[in-house]
């Protein structure tokens, strides 16, 4: 056989072997995908450079990404977060289906790099917020683009909203909440509950919400119906949204989801529900254009249902969940009482007694079983826990604080809270005086001034033109109480503050079980 013929034969053999290996590779890819042994699915919608890189490098991209991953971890250990972020960005380009790199890079941005930046000005953390939002965008806009069914990415997104933005562990958390509320208000309205316009197919805001924030208004309404009513300007609501969407994706791909991952996603939702209960309602102060975050008491039934469901699903941790559930009920009862929703407070007080009859409900009192304590006694005991003891000075200060809070709520239009705090102040007063009168010697503890005198002192201080509340607030309080107006009215001034520039503060604790630290 001539050399030329031999070459032709070898070329034909090589071509046949190449074609055969291609068919075998296709079969192997199908089997590996069916058995869940690989995540190397074909990229769809990828930029041309990324698509070319993943094809051109072939199997070598795995070796390169492994080396870069080791190097990125070393940089992380050396606190070189910016360099680690750059390497992680290269790894996602090489292995866009490698979920852990997306999680690593987003966490690095939101948690490690962000805290390298300090305040730009008092209370303003614009640079820090930019990195937190970039971490969220990386998962939401890029990670899910290549891994739309990966439950771990949905879990991490929910965690960022729940923990980084929603809780108060970062000293910039109020700024994060303010900025997120500013971004969401155009979509969900001044009350954070607008869905009627967003559900119109051609609504401009609905299109922008889907394209920029990847939020489907129809699914958001479904989440709101199942878990709400929720305020969609708050981060906890979006933690619930992404967690719920992750559960939906898990239903579509049950063979590729671990049971423990599902439990973690559900836990994100339940813990976010608890946070939304504690500080899931904006309370506007019209006098200084600020907002406070107060309890969302309308969520009590839904949060209770969430705990009941979680105890059934996560049987290994049912005991710990039951403890958290009982603590939630205690807080719910107290907050409802403060809000003058006495009938609702009594309903949940009975439920607490039926659910946990063998558990004391007052800290430090082992005999305070539900059958031994009335609702009023429990509410007073909660105030006493805050006081720390039952001294005359502390009790007087607590009563005056409750009265001052009641008039503040009266001024900003929270009439139920005004009545609730006023009632609670009276109950604390009555309880203290009853204990004093029951002692053998009143020298052991000094009684309180008359309740009317305490109330008058608080009111006089608030209405003092020199050192009291702002004039507009004083005027509202006087009007609400039927008092004559002030004689020395200050000149009219025009405020330059607008609701869009309002700041957010929180006067409610982020209590309850929190997610485990990462």
Residue 40's SS3 state is: coil
Q: Are residues 63 and 156 in the same domain?
A: yes
Long-range contacts, stretch 274-277, CB < 8 angstroms, 24+ apart: 274/303, 274/324, 274/328, 274/512, 274/513, 275/162, 275/166, 275/167, 275/236, 275/510, 275/512, 276/230, 276/231, 276/234, 276/236, 276/237, 276/240, 276/303, 277/303, 277/328, 277/331, 277/332, 277/512
Q: Are residues 358 and 256 in the same domain?
A: no
Helix segments in 253-341, DSSP class H: 259-279, 300-313, 318-338
Q: In what order do the strands lie in the sheet with 290-294?
A: 281-285, 290-294, 503-506
State both tokens at 212: 């920029």
Residue 497, Cβ density class (10 Å: 0-12 exposed, 13-18 middle, ≥19 buried): exposed
Positions of the chain with pLDDT lower than 50, given as ranges:
37-47, 49-50, 56-57, 440-444, 492-502, 506-518
Number of structural domains in the chain: 2
The model's pTM is: 0.74
Q: Are residues 291 and 230 in the same domain?
A: yes
Backbone angles phi, psi at 514, to 5 degrees: -110, 165
Q: Which domain holds residue 378?
A: 344-486+497-506
Residue 423 domain flag: yes
Residue 330 domain flag: no
Report how far residue 57's alpha carbon sits from residue 62's, in angstroms, rounded to the nearest whole number: 9
Report how far residue 6's alpha carbon sits from residue 14's, in angstroms, rounded to the nearest whole number: 12
Q: Among residues 277, 303, 318, which one ends one of the domains?
A: 318
Q: How many CA atoms lie within 13 A of 139 on its CB side?
A: 30
Q: Are residues 295 and 393 in the same domain?
A: no
Where is 213: in which H helix or E strand? helix 204-213
Q: Are residues 77 and 218 in the same domain?
A: yes
pLDDT for the residue numbered 116: 86
Q: Among residues 283, 318, 353, which one ends one of the domains?
A: 318
Q: Are residues 307 and 252 in the same domain?
A: yes
Residue 26 domain flag: no
Residue 8 domain flag: no
State both tokens at 337: 């009482």
The answer to whether residues 245 and 219 touch, using CB atoms and an 8 Å cutoff, is yes
Whole-number Cα distances in Å, 210 to 86, 156, 180, 199, 458: 29, 20, 16, 11, 51
Residue 514 domain flag: no
pLDDT for the residue numbered 352: 96
Q: Are residues 302 and 360 in the same domain?
A: no
Q: Are residues 158 and 293 in the same domain?
A: yes
The answer to whether residues 284 and 412 touch, using CB atoms and an 8 Å cutoff, is yes
pLDDT for the residue numbered 100: 86
Backbone angles phi, psi at 294, to 5 degrees: -115, 175
Structure confidence by residue, pLDDT tens digits, 188-235: 998 888 898 898 878 899 999 999 999 999 999 999 999 989 999 999
Q: Are residues 299 and 350 in the same domain?
A: no
Q: Are residues 312 and 359 in the same domain?
A: no
Give the angle 222-217-44 at the CA atoms, nearest 5°. 110
Q: Are residues 306 and 357 in the same domain?
A: no
Residue 289 domain flag: yes
Residue 16, Cβ density class (10 Å: 0-12 exposed, 13-18 middle, ≥19 buried): exposed
Q: What is the residue whose two structure tokens read 């109330």?
A: 455
According to DSSP, the residues that pair with 357 across neighbouring strands are: none
pLDDT for the residue numbered 227: 93
The answer to whether residues 503 and 180 touch, using CB atoms and an 8 Å cutoff, is no
State both tokens at 227: 């878990």
Residue 227 domain flag: yes
Report how far residue 313's alpha carbon sits from residue 307's, in angstroms, rounded to the nearest whole number: 10
């Amino acid at each position: 056989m001539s050399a030329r013929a031999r070459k032709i034969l070898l070329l034909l053999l090589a071509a046949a072997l190449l074609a055969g290996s291609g068919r075998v590779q296709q079969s192997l890819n199908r089997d590996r995908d069916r058995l869940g042994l690989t995540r190397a699915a074909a990229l769809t919608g990828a930029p041309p450079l990324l698509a070319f890189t993943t094809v051109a490098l072939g199997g070598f991209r795995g070796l390169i990404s492994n080396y870069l991953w080791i190097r990125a971890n070393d940089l992380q250990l050396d606190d070189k977060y910016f360099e680690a972020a750059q390497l992680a960005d290269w790894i996602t380009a090489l292995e866009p289906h490698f979920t852990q790199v997306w999680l690593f890079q987003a966490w690095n941005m939101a948690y490690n790099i962000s805290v390298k930046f300090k305040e730009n000005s008092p209370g303003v953390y614009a640079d820090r917020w930019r990195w937190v939002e970039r971490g969220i965008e990386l998962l939401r806009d890029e990670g899910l683009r290549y891994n739309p069914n990966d439950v771990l990415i949905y879990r991490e997104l929910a965690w960022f909203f729940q923990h980084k933005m929603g809780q108060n562990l970062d000293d910039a958390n109020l700024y994060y909440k303010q900025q997120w509320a500013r971004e969401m208000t155009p979509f969900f309205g001044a009350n954070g509950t607008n869905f009627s316009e967003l559900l119109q197919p051609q609504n401009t805001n609905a299109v922008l919400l889907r394209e920029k924030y990847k939020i489907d208004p129809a699914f958001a309404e479904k989440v709101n119906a199942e878990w709400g009513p929720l305020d969609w300007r708050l981060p906890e609501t979006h933690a619930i949204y992404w967690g719920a969407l992750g559960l939906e994706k898990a239903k579509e791909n049950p063979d590729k989801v671990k049971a423990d991952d599902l439990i973690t996603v559900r836990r994100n939702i339940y813990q976010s529900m608890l946070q939304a209960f504690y500080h899931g309602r904006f309370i506007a102060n019209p006098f200084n254009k600020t907002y406070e975050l107060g309890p969302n008491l309308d969520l009590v039934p839904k949060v209770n249902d969430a705990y009941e469901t979680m105890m059934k699903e996560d049987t290994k941790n049912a005991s710990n969940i039951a403890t958290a559930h009982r603590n939630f009920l205690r807080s719910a009862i107290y907050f409802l009482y403060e809000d003058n929703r006495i009938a609702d407070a009594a309903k949940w007080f009975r439920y607490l007694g039926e659910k946990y009859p063998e558990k004391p409900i007052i800290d430090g009192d082992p005999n305070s079983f539900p059958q031994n304590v009335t609702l009023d006694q429990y509410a007073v005991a909660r105030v006493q826990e805050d006081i720390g003891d039952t001294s005359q000075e502390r009790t007087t200060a607590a009563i005056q604080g409750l009265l001052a809070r009641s008039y503040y709520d009266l001024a900003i239009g929270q009439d139920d809270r005004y009545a609730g705090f006023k009632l609670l102040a009276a109950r604390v007063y009555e309880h203290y005086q009853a204990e004093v009168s029951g002692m053998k010697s009143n020298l052991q503890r000094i009684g309180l001034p008359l309740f009317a005198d305490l109330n008058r002192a608080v009111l006089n201080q608030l209405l003092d033109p020199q050192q009291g509340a702002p004039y507009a607030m004083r005027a509202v309080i006087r009007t609400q109480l039927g008092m004559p107006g002030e004689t020395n009215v200050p000149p009219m001034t025009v405020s330059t503050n607008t609701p869009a520039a309002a700041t957010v503060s929180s006067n409610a604790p982020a209590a309850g079980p929190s997610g485990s630290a990462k």
